[in-house]
Structure formats: structure tokens, C-alpha cells
């Protein structure tokens, strides 16, 4: 890493994508790295093992004491009551910090950072920005909160003189630091991809989310840039940001970087990107949806500004035709004439609705099946239940899994899958809810193809493992 630091680092919650990729970054910098988690599953478990990072199952204070690391990095999934957390607080024998603070001190403090924030699309946009910088012949560092296909790894130190691209999550930093993670990330270019209410366990309402995005905007230096989705009213409400340079991106007139001529067919999608009224470039690629066109425009603008200053259009858009995306983001697991299976990390109504509409355009005539696991802290409660219902109404049939960790949510506050299924049925959409993911898998597998040979498109939406049923269903479909 770019700053001197401890040689032996221990990550609590190392199986999370952000924590895992940060551990890989530390390992690449020459540190001795280990960590602990529960139920680490591929692809992160595989990547960590290949890097030589020892991962312990479960949390054990005695083991942590024997390990005696120079620094303990505590992930934001850790809370009071965790035995290792309690031991650290009781004895103060080892220094500890949050992941964002460690990244700032060890990596970001002296880099020109591109911080990608937003309710949706952060991972894909971060990967695109890093990919475009590499394709431009630079050696950027990056930390991506997922497992990208381009670039081929999720974390990389890069050259100190080149930008560092990092996914800027608005979630809190740790149980002892309730600031959003991105507040630690010292942005030179801050990307505001979109803004909606999410993370009901952290934020009270939309205004509370806007407040933390406003805090991010205020630490962009006057020599830097705030790259805003100019079509997003919730971002416009943040104000003019006179302390830095603001560049707006979107489809509407008046944006500095404007997406025009968007089209989508079964073969792919295409669009033109203009910079202040003149053509910057045309993109034809395999990715779906206008949302990914916007992700690309945001990434290209941020990367171009980081390299070329006030005119980003010197950045070549041609490499986007080769960009393959990020695993678990609309990832096609099975592609056949009668059955297509897709896995998506979707856990917010807007993203799920956009994905379903896009893939219906890509697969005309197919029976669209949405399989949803209410797993995120917001999806498990009723706060956005009506939004999820509207999003899922873009499918022909819906399979609803049980609420993850339902016992931790009071029944009157819990996502009501039965009511959602009933309301969808009333709209003419076939909808079923299940008491277990195993039962859901059995029902789905028993009806692999609809009657009369109509093609079927099955899209799984979950930000977790879905108890492994996605892989089981895809494997059986391939067989």
C-alpha cells in the first residue's frame, strides 16, 4: 500500500465483497493477511484461498489472541455481542479500526481518487471506470465491491501517480463509526450515480440519505469534480455545489454529457454519448438497459475528467464494446433456445423493475419469471413493500422466497410475501410465496418449461446466497 503500516492484518467479516477485496489489496501490498467469517461462499471464498489468505470459520477470541495481528479491521457487519468484538473492547490488547478508515490511511490519503456513489449501479460503474482507465494505457488502482470480469480482479493497487477508483457505499462504516463509508474516501472526482431511499436500518427517510450525500459533496476539492446524474431530482435537490466543479450526465437536454439514441434489441443495446453538443462516441455492446448506458456515461465522464481535466471526451469509448460486466449483476448463467437463467444482485425496487423491463425487451415472447429473496435489511421490512410489488409486476410470474432472518423482524414490520403474492395475482400475474427456499426450488424445478414450448426467462434477485438454489437450478438446467 502507498503508506507504511502494520505487517499483519486481520479482517473480521472477510467474506464480504468489500472486506474480501480490501484483504486482497493488503495481501498484494505484502502484508500478512488472515480473517474470519461465517459461511463464506464462492466466488469470494475461492479468490481469497487462491491469494493465500487464511480464512477461519466463526469468531474465537482465543484464536485472535494467538494470531496477535498488528491491526484488526472490523467490518460493518460486526456488532456488539460478537465474541471477538467484546474481547477487543474488554482488553484493548490489539489496535482496531474500520475498513474505510484503514483504506484511507493505507491507500487513499495521497491518491487522486474517483469515488463512485449512488443507490444503484455502484459496482458496475466502478468496474467500468477502472476498465476504461486501463484501456487508456494507465495503471489505476481500484477496489470494487464485487467480482468483476473486466477488470479481471476486484482489487489492485496500481501506480501511485494514477487515479484510484473505489466504490463509495453510503452504508455506515462500523458499529463504532456511523458515518457513511464514502466520507473516508478523499474524493478528487465524486460520482453521484443516483439517489433514492434505501437502508432503512440506517437512514430515517430520503432527506437523511440526501444529507449524507451532501456531506460527500462537501469534501470534493475545488480542483476536483462532482459528476452528477442530471436527470435525478433527488440529486438536484442537493444544490449547486459552488465549492467545486459540477458536471452533469444523463439523457435529458442540458446535461454536459448526454446519452442519445438509446436502443435495445435481442442482439444487444446501443447509444450515442455527446459532450456539450458534439458527438463523443457511439457504443454498441452486450449489456442491457438504459441504466447501464447511464452507468457507462458516468464512468467514462469520471475517468475522462481524471485524465484530461475539464474535457473528458478525449477518453476512447471503444473499449466499452468489450466490457463484460460484473458477476451477479445480470449475469447469464444459462442461455438456451428455450430456457435462459440470469442471476442479479437486485435488492431495491427501482433496480429490479428496470432489470425486468430491459430483459423483456431482450427476450421478446419469453415467459418472464422473477424469483425474489427478501434478504437485505430494507427488503426484509415493509418500508418499500409497495415498490417491490410494482417492480415485480413487470414479470409474468413471481416466486417469493421467505424473509431472510425473519425472527429478527417484528411480524407487523416484516415484508409480507403472502400479501404481495395476493396483490400480484389480482393483477393477473402468477405469484407464489414459499416458507423455505428449498420448497421454492422444488416448485421452480418442477416447472422448468411452460406449456407449448414457449421460451422461459428466469431471473433470480438476491443480494445473498439464496441458500444455494440459484446454482442448483442453473446446474440442473445445463444438464
Here the cell at position 166 is 473505489
Instruction: Domains for the chain: give ranges and CATH numbers.
Output: 8-99 (3.40.50.720), 111-322 (3.40.1190.10), 331-478 (3.90.190.20)
Distance CA 58, CA 12 (A): 10
Whether a cis peptide bond, with omega within 30° of 0, leads into 151 is yes
Degrees to nearest 5, angle at CA 342 with 336 and 345: 170
Alpha helices in 78-228 (DSSP H): 83-91, 99-103, 122-135, 206-217
The three-class DSSP label of residue 11 is strand
Distance CA 400, CA 393 (A): 13
User: Number of H helices and number of E strands within the chain?
Assistant: 14, 23
Give kind and range of the element (H or E) at residue 469.
helix 469-478
Distance CA 8, CA 108 (A): 19
Task: Using 70 as the pLDDT threshold, list the residues of the chain that sit under it.
Answer: 1-6, 448-452
pLDDT at 153: 86
Strands (E), 181-255: 187-192, 225-229, 245-250
pLDDT in tens, 335-373: 888 899 999 888 889 889 989 998 898 888 899 999 999
pLDDT in tens, 89-118: 999 999 999 999 999 998 899 999 999 999
Beta bridge partners of 367: 456
pTM of the complete model: 0.85
Q: Which of 59, 37, 62 is nearest to 48 (CA)?
A: 37
Alpha helices in 309-369 (DSSP H): 349-362
The three-class DSSP label of residue 329 is coil
Q: Which of 387, 450, 449 is nearest to 420 (CA)?
A: 387
Cell 443495446, residue located: 269
- In angstroms, how far apart are the furthest CA atoms of the chain? 67
Residue 203 CB-half CA count within 13 A: 22
**Residue 455 contacts residue 363 (beta carbons within 8 Å):** yes
Q: Which of 206, 216, 209 is nearest to 241 (CA)?
A: 216
DSSP string, 144-165: -SS-BSSSSSSEE---TTS-EE
pLDDT at 436: 95
Q: Which of 163, 153, 161 is nearest to 185 (CA)?
A: 163
Distance CA 359, CA 347 (A): 17
Distance CA 371, CA 431 (A): 10
Amino acid at each position: 500500500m502507498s503508506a507504511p503500516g502494520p505487517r499483519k492484518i486481520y479482517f473480521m467479516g472477510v467474506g464480504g465483497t468489500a472486506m474480501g477485496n480490501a484483504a486482497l489489496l493488503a495481501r498484494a501490498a505484502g502484508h500478512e493477511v488472515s480473517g474470519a467469517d461465517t459461511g463464506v461462499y464462492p466466488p469470494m471464498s475461492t479468490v481469497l484461498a487462491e491469494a493465500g489468505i487464511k480464512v477461519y470459520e466463526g469468531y474465537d477470541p482465543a484464536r485472535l489472541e494467538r494470531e496477535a495481528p498488528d491491526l484488526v479491521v472490523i467490518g460493518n457487519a460486526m456488532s456488539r455481542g460478537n465474541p471477538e468484538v467484546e474481547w477487543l473492547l474488554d482488553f484493548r490488547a490489539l489496535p482496531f479500526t474500520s475498513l474505510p478508515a484503514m483504506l484511507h490511511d493505507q491507500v487513499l490519503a495521497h491518491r487522486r481518487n474517483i469515488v463512485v456513489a449512488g443507490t444503484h449501479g455502484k459496482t458496475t460503474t466502478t468496474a467500468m471506470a477502472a476498465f476504461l482507465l486501463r484501456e487508456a494505457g494507465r495503471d489505476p488502482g481500484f477496489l470494487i465491491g464485487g467480482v468483476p470480469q473486466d477488470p479481471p480482479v476486484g482489487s489492485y493497487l496500481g501506480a501511485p501517480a494514477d487515479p484510484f477508483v473505489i466504490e463509495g457505499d453510503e452504508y455506515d462504516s462500523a458499529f463504532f463509526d456511523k458515518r457513511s463509508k464514502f466520507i473516508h474516501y478523499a474524493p478528487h472526482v465524486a460520482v453521484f450515480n443516483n439517489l433514492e431511499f434505501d437502508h432503512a436500518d440506517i437512514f430515517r427517510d430520503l432527506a437523511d440519505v440526501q444529507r449524507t450525500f451532501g456531506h460527500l459533496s462537501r469534501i470534493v476539492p475545488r480542483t476536483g469534480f462532482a459528476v452528477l446524474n442530471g436527470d435525478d431530482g433527488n440529486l438536484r435537490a442537493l444544490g449547486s455545489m459552488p465549492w467545486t466543479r459540477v458536471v452533469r450526465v444523463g439523457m435529458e437536454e442540458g446535461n454536459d454529457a448526454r446519452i442519445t439514441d438509446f436502443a435495445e434489441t435481442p442482439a444487444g443495446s446501443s447509444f450515442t454519448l455527446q459532450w456539450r453538443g458534439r458527438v463523443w462516441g457511439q457504443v454498441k455492446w452486450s449489456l442491457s438497459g438504459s441504466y447501464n448506458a447511464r452507468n457507462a456515461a458516468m464512468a467514462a465522464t469520471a475517468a475522462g475528467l481524471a485524465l484530461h481535466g475539464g474535457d473528458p471526451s478525449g477518453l476512447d469509448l471503444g473499449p466499452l464494446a468489450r466490457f463484460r460486466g460484473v458477476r451477479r449483476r445480470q449475469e447469464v448463467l444459462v442461455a438456451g433456445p428455450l430456457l435462459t437463467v440470469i442471476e442479479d444482485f437486485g435488492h431495491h425496487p427501482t433496480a429490479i423493475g428496470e432489470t425486468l423491463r430491459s430483459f423483456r425487451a431482450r427476450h421478446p415472447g419469453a415467459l418472464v419469471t422473477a424469483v425474489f429473496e427478501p434478504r437485505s435489511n430494507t427488503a426484509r421490512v415493509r418500508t418499500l413493500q409497495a415498490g417491490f410489488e410494482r417492480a415485480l409486476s413487470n414479470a409474468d410470474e413471481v416466486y417469493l422466497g421467505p424473509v431472510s432472518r425473519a425472527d429478527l423482524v417484528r411480524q407487523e414490520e416484516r415484508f409480507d410475501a403472502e400479501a404481495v403474492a395476493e396483490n400480484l395475482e389480482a393483477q393477473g400475474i402468477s405469484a407464489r410465496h414459499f416458507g423455505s427456499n428449498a420448497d421454492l426450488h422444488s416448485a421452480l424445478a418442477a416447472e422448468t418449461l411452460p406449456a407449448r414450448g414457449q421460451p422461459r426467462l428466469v431471473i433470480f434477485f438476491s443480494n445473498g446466497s439464496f441458500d444455494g438454489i440459484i446454482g442448483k437450478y442453473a446446474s440442473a438446467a445445463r444438464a
